[in-house]
Structure 1
Amino acid sequence: MKPPFKRIVVVGGGAAGWMTATALATALKGGTVELVESEEIGIVGVGEATFPSIRNFHRLLGIDEAEFLRATNGTYKLGIQFCDWRARGESYFHTFGDFGALSGSHAVWGQHHRLGEAGLGALGEQCLPSVMASQGRFALPGENDRYDYAYHFDAALYAAFLRELGERRGVRRTEGRIVDVARRADGGVDRLTLADGRVVAGDLYIDCSGFASLLLGRTLGEPFVDFSHWLPVDRAWACPTERIGTELTPYTRATALEAGWAWRIPLQNRTGNGHVFASRHIDEDRVRAQLLQQLDGPALAEPRLLRFQTGHRKRAWVHNVVALGLSGGFLEPLESTSIFLVQWGLGRLIDLLLSGAPFTEQVVADYNGEMGRRFARVRDFIILHYCLSARRDSALWRAMATMELPETLAFKLHAWRQAGALHQYDLEGFDATSWLAIHTGMGHWPERADPSLGDVERAVALRGLQWRRECIATAVAAMPKHEAYLRGMLGGRER
């Protein structure tokens, strides 16, 4: 690592802070990484579901999967089951899987919709991990399997796990509450003063201070780009419950409700539950009652209320401060993307640090532009879930059905409706298969079919889809239940 960044200071712990500090200490040589956190403040510690990219992060850090799962009470995640989103009583899976060809005469989804054969079952039966999830089974993908997976885990234990690893790799942890931030003449941050009078100084500061955004927001005054017009949820009640013998499902569940949605996240030792809602459409106490009514086990603590605003700071990098995690922005947790956004921003920063190139104004502007587009791409994908709903039974769902969409999303919807085209921009958070899963799961099909689908005879197309469905069913039937697989792997027995 070359000057001027010999001393890097990470402000804030939690998952974002310790991901950042540990990755920097692993990747960089020749400097110091110091993390400042206060046990008085604590961490949000609610985000317990992840996106498959976390596995790349773990590989870069050399983290053993079994060790990580033991330390965090982790489980496997194949995707998300969406209940009652299109209409009450209906559900579908968004898994990290493969629907076969997405375009042309052999597009699996296109032929499935064209044939309309009840005997073929739902389109989800053409996707291996969707069938695995529906049956509660799990196995690691083989060499030729085209699906991915992520994890559920206890966020507080994950931060502790990374802290231990980071400190072994040279991260210096400083316990203390920051009471003053001194500025440099050029506007950047010069030093931090702690409550006991100690001073911490660095060349580059990474703001992982959560919603407080101590450096980027509070000190540097970077404006906030508000997404609440499109994503109006702004509160969440969270409550863990005991496991009472219920099946350890390899997926997150998101259930649409009157003014938002509820999550259910299975861990080895407990279940994470929460209700995300729009306070403009419902009273907080009513939501708390709704959450408690649907718990499937005794509560381990009183429900905790979290308040947030969807959006992001206009620039993530200002002067010598880079914000990662909640300090830089937040998108509601519907698709478990918070850690993904931390990981992406951190990865880009490390690449720049390792390049040794000077951090010119253009380099910083490019980073900020890319980070902004990442947030916008994920924002559009989350909005998709709401705007495709056929529900009109409450104020929230009626408002989401009539709101004006971001132009980027409106164009994507037009391309799909007109021609079944799954248009992709740069820096997408979700690939075309994920967009397909939401469109088709919500019963949102193109108005016109690709004429080339007719090039395949109906009988031939039917045999092909039946064969694919049967192969998937056979493969899944041979897989163990998720809990049995996890127990065998953590117990050290052969899989």
Structure 2
Amino acid sequence: MGTAYKRIVIVGGGTAGWMTALAVKAAQPGSTVELVESEEIGIVGVGEATFPSIRDFHASVGVDETEFLRATHGTFKLGIQFRDWRAQGEHYFHTFGNFADVAGPTCLWGQYRRVDDPTLGVLGDQCLPTVMATQGRFAKPPKDQGNLYTYAYHFDANLYAVFLRTIAVKRGVRRTEGRIVEVMRRADGGVDRLKLEDGRAVAGDLFIDCSGFSSLLLGRTLEEPWVDFSHWLPVDRAWAVSSAPTGAAITPYTRATALEAGWAWRIPLIDRIGNGHVFSSRYIDEDRARQQLLDQLDGPALAEPRLLRFTTGHRERFWVHNVVALGLSSGFLEPLESTSIMMIQRGLHHMLEALKPGVPPAAPVVDAYNRSMTKMYARIRDFIILHYCLTGRRDSEFWRDMVTKELPDTLVFKMHAWRQTGALNLYSTAEGFESSSWLAIYAGMGTWPEFLDPVLNEVPLEEARQALRQRREQIAAMAATMPAHDDYLRSVLRK
């Protein structure tokens, strides 16, 4: 049985385009895969911080980790350090690890609160990758203990796109260089072909829009409406700039520092540091925001800062007729939790599941895809809002407004369940973050339930104290045996 779409055309390169090209070529061997991009347009491509799911993508398309790190100037990432979010001068970590049991008599956080012993330190001391990040250490988790923690990467997004393009072209993806000047439609409203500036035409059966913020096919051509999230997430600008390395150790984590009207990112690469300031133009002007970014730099800026403008939200539908949008062309959530590539992956996965051999997806399948993507955006939106609404800061209009905003009902329910019962409630589908992530943010922001589950009393108090102390000591001992992140990275790159 043949494929329903003999000709699959991807519009736009960059991370989204070339990830899509690799994945589609592997999953649809009976189709031609053609990617159209113009070197004149360029890509957003800043220093990129990622989510652990990127390792699943690399495994699925056969990307070697060492080759990837070398090609993209990559480093390892254990999570994110949040500075000045709860209050100025305070920080906490959200790392890719677990806190053991999160329910029942042996619930780790519950016993930690019940014991209430300052000598146990912060809850993060009970999470191995948090201790590793604090100490600047890194090692891959042992294969037989893979549930202890996981990791992601930092890398240069421009170099990543080039890296993926080289692999994809070798595997048979056709790359067409050219600027699209017209999109020709079919009688049913779908896209028939693309007209390029030099007169060539690129025809296809399925078009995947990876054209970035311009959203050439889904937004401009099909005029799919925008669902606006800026009421909850008012940041709408970002200055981005690279700075020179300082010679200090390369940290195995991203840093997010809360500022007057937004926050600044710091992403360490091998040869430079990626920096940015995400802010709301309602609360601060662009020039002041630019200066606040420059004031954050550890070393000299390597270029003039670039300004990006955006609106948080997504297209009402993601798959319309024979057009599917992935990446920035489908929507944008601010990069606070490094979810951009993970969302591309999710969309790719669901799209490829729908592309069964023989016939195009039926309307209910496309509808299910759109519902799934809509839920994913809403769930991740809620998790990002959580960082803002729990703050104790009242030192600027931005932070005062963020804690008084009306929240989405889905987030209100989760927060109520946590505060009243200690339940880390997760909906059944499309969750972007596991319960351990929600716990890390609640704990880091000092937000705890009003009541503790009486079942915790089934464990004698001294026994609970000893178990927590023992786990803390074991984690500290494990981290102490690990190499510094710099040393581990060098050993990997020498292979």
Q: CA deviation at 1:355?
A: 5.4
| Structure 2 contact 224–316 (Cα < 8 Å) conserved | yes
* Structure 1: gaps of 5 or more residues: none
For 1:193-232, list aligned pairs within 5 A.
193-232=195-234
Match of 1:66 in 2: 66
SS of 1:153 mapped into structure 2: strand
Secondary structure, aligned partner of 1:48: strand
1:131 correspondence with 2:134: no
Match runs of 1:454-469 below 5 Å: 454-469=457-472
1:365 aligned residue: 367
Q: Aligned ranges for residues 321-470 of structure 1 at < 5 Å?
A: 321-354=323-356, 356=358, 358-425=360-427, 426-470=429-473
Amino acid at match of 2:254: T
* CA distances 1:358-387 after superposition (whole Å, capped 9, x unpaired): 411100000000000000000000000000
Match of 2:169 in 1: 167
Answer whether contact 1:47 1:336 (CA < 8 A) is retained. no
Shift of 1:2: 3.3
Aligned length: 492
- Find the residue that maps to 2:182 and give its secondary structure: strand
Query: 1:489 and 2:492 equivalent?
Result: yes
Inter-partner Cα distance in structure 2 for 1:229 and 1:56 = 34
Query: Which residue in 1 is equivalent to 2:269?
Result: 267
Deviation readout 1:196-247 (Å, 9 max, x if unpaired): 1110010000000000000000000000000000000000000101112021
User: Secondary structure of 1:273's match?
Assistant: strand
Q: Is the 8 A contact 2:268 2:274 kept in 1?
A: yes
Does the 8 A contact of 2:4 with 2:359 survive in 1? no
Contact map agreement 2:3 2:359 (CA 8 A) in 1? no
The corresponding residue for 2:482 is 479
Measure the CA separation in 1 of the matches of 2:281 and 2:354: 41
Q: Is 2:422–2:453's contact at 8 Å kept on the other side of the alignment?
A: yes
The change in CA–CA distance for 1:401 and 1:359 in structure 2 (over 3 A counts) is: same
CA contact (8 A) 1:138 1:482 kept: yes
Matched residues in 2 for 1:269 and 1:12: separation? 27
Take 1:47 and 1:6, find their aligned partners in 2: how far apart are those partners?
36
Return the offset for 1:4.
3.4
2:138, 2:44 → 1: CA distance? 30
Name 2:246's counterpart in structure 1. 244
Letter in 2 for 1:7: R
- Percent identity of paired positions between Structure 1 and Structure 2: 67
Tell me if the contact between 1:37 and 1:176 (Cα under 8 Å) persists in the aligned partners: yes
3-state secondary structure, aligned to 2:412: helix
Shift of 1:144: 1.4
Which of 296, 299, 312 pairs up with 2:298?
A: 296
For residue 82 of structure 1, give the secondary structure of its aligned residue in structure 2.
strand
Gaps of 5+ in 2: none
Does the 8 Å CA contact 1:47/1:333 hold for their aligned counterparts? no
For the 8 Å contact 2:420–2:450, the answer to whether it is kept is yes
**SS class of match (1:402):** coil
Letter in 1 for 2:111: Q
Indicate whether 1:110 and 2:110 are aligned: yes
SS of 1:44's partner is coil
Asked if structure 1 preserves the Cα contact closer than 8 Å seen for 2:4 and 2:358, the reply is no
* Partner SS state of residue 411, structure 1: helix
Q: Which residue of 2 aligns with 1:39?
A: 39
Residue identity matched to 1:19: M
Structure-2 change in CA distance of 1:405 and 1:355 (3 Å): farther
What aligned pairs does 1:75-154 form with structure 2 within 5 A after superposition?
75-142=75-142, 143-145=144-146, 146-154=148-156
C-alpha root-mean-square deviation of aligned residues, in Å? 0.9
How far 1:354 sits from its partner (Å)?
4.2
Match of 2:493, as an amino acid?
A: L
CA distance in 1, matches of 2:359, 2:84: 51
**DSSP-derived class of the 1:275 partner:** strand
